[in-house]
Amino acid sequence: MLDINYILENKDKIIKAIGDKCLSVSLFDGDLLKSYTADDFVELLCHTDQKRKELKTKVDLLRQKRNIISEKIGKANEILKSELISKAKEIKKELSHYGPELEGIEKDFIDLMLRVPSVPSEDTPIGTCDEDNVEIRRWGEIPLFDFEPKDHVELGELLDILDISRGVKISGSRSYFLKNQGALLELAVCRFTIDQLVKKGFTPFLVPLMVKDEAMIGTGFFPGGEEQSYRIDKDKLNLIGTSEVSLTSYHSGEILEEKDLPKMYTGFSACFRREAGTYGKDTRGIYRIHQFHKVEQVIICKNDPDISRDMHKFILQNSEEVLQLLKLPYRVVNVCTGEMGQGQVYKNDIETWMPSRNSYGETHSCSTLHDFQARRLKIRYRDANGNIQYVHTLNNTVVASPRILIPILEIYQQSDGSVLIPEVLQPYMGGQKLIRPRNK
């Protein structure tokens, strides 16, 4: 959510942001779903805000008059008291009309405000799809094999560490089992990553996997992302798609102290995503699945673009260091406007080399959101001058598994089908250095 005054003063920027981010705005008009152009949507928001302010002023004046009359009634004589009571009844009648009307327009106003996107930073490339992302840098050498390499599915079956068919049998498409050293390898890479962050001062969390709508709205996943989420209607709870939701909501409704910032949190959790709209895309293997584990970084810092920029570089570097220690080649891209989320001001993706795709595949996303989430969640801090300000928030995947197992298995494979375990993970695997095919 943005400041309404900023929106009113920067209508053209908001209209451009809606277009650049390829966002569509559809709202219910009665029982009909109506689509709005960016211009019409912003105009509707401004009109609703003006009407809200006028109605609120009217209601506030009526309440003020009612309070004044109430004070006078206790001191008035019988004749004057009768007149005052009559006036109080008239005011009550007006409030019974305007009060609900104000509540309705306030609700409409909030619904519109929740759909306003952040304005992308000036260094964000304009584009509509991932092909318009701009590469910033690469690290590591792409492996060359002197044998016919296998993909992660073939390797997983040969090593008896991955069972997709039985996963599909009991849970449907995009499901899987990790077993034997496959299960241990996922736990190893996640624990290794958490340890790297704890060394840097991050507080580790195991977070709630089910959250209220307020947390999904507060972090910007609702409205708009309902189709990607699994919902438990009976309990009005949602399964998280990232621990960012739980971690960023941790301080919702609180006023923090400037001296306690930045807050650096890392969460480990199972994550759940419907992958709606991806029918027929990345169907082989464990690249695009419904359930996975992720280690996430969340930063809560002062309301300062320069500090946010430094924090963004910091958490992006943390993810790069993990990949470098795993010795996995990758590239960093500057994500274009059309691939950004509603609240993101600036975003980088890290794509790790996956031999079976003969290309880089997205494994990490690093996002700066300024006060977009903080305004929704009402997370503020008291600055050195005693003023109350909204914080800035950032987040970044440090590792997501089993997707990260794709490059590990495929890059570290040997000619006989065995897979070397990355050196930094061997202590987490009881010193094991190699995963061998089961028949060997």
CATH fold for the domain made of 130-435: BirA Bifunctional Protein; domain 2 (3.30.930)
Question: Of the ranges 53-62, 237-246, 310-319, which one carries the lowest mean pLDDT score?
Answer: 53-62
- Compute the average pLDDT of residues 139-146: 97
pTM as predicted:
0.93
What is the mean pLDDT of the segment spanning 149-168?
A: 97
pLDDT, residue 89, reads 87
Higher pLDDT, 277 or 252: 252
DSSP 413: B
How much is the mean pLDDT over the chain?
A: 95
User: Which of 408, 419, 410, 354 minimizes the C-alpha distance to 160?
Assistant: 419
Domain boundaries for CATH 1.10.287.40 within the chain: 4-113
Helix (H, G, I), strand (E, B) or coil at 105: helix
- What's the pLDDT at 13? 97
The secondary structure of 164-232 as a DSSP string is HHHHHHHH-TT--EE-THHHHHHHHHHHHHHHHHHHTTPEEEE--SEE-HHHHHHTT-TTT-GGGS-EE
Three-class SS state of 304 = coil
**Residues that are catalytic:** 273, 288, 362, 365, 403
For 120-140, what is each residue's pLDDT tens digit? 999 999 999 999 999 999 999
d(CA 375, CA 389): 10
| C-alpha distance from residue 106 to each of 50, 103, 110, 211 (Å) | 11, 5, 6, 25
Percentage of residues in the chain having pLDDT higher than 70:
99
Of the candidate ranges 81-95, 209-223, 297-311, 392-406, the one whose mean pLDDT is the lowest:
81-95
Query: Is residue 135 a contact partner of residue 389, using CB atoms and an 8 Å limit?
Result: no
| pLDDT confidence band for 151 (50 / 70 / 90) | very high
Residue 78 pLDDT greater than 80, yes or no: no
Residue from 266, 224, 260, 228 nearest 244 by CA: 266
148 touches 356 (CB < 8 A)? no
pLDDT of residue 279: 78
Q: Tell me: pLDDT of 298 over 80.
A: yes
Q: What is the pLDDT of residue 397?
A: 95
Q: What angle do CA 305, 309, 311 make, to 5 degrees?
A: 115
Would you tell me which CATH number, out of the four given (3.30.830.10, 2.130.10.10, 3.40.50.10380, 1.10.287.40), belongs to the domain 4-113? 1.10.287.40
Least confident of 77-86, 118-127, 318-327, 369-378: 77-86
* Of 82-96, 107-121, 154-168, 175-189, minimum mean pLDDT range: 82-96
Lowest-confidence pick of 35-44, 57-66, 108-117: 57-66
Q: Are 229 and 166 in contact (CB under 8 A)?
A: no
pLDDT at 79 over 80: no
What are 234-268's pLDDT values in tens digits?
999 999 999 999 999 999 999 999 999 999 999 99
Residue 440: band (very low, low, confident or very high) from pLDDT cuts 50, 70, 90 = low
Residues of the chain with CATH 3.30.930.10: 130-435
Spell out the long-range contacts of 20-23 with Cβ–Cβ below 8 A and sequence spacing 24 or more. Answer: 20/120, 20/126, 20/337, 20/338, 21/117, 21/120, 21/337, 21/338, 21/340, 21/342, 22/128, 22/337, 22/338, 23/117, 23/342
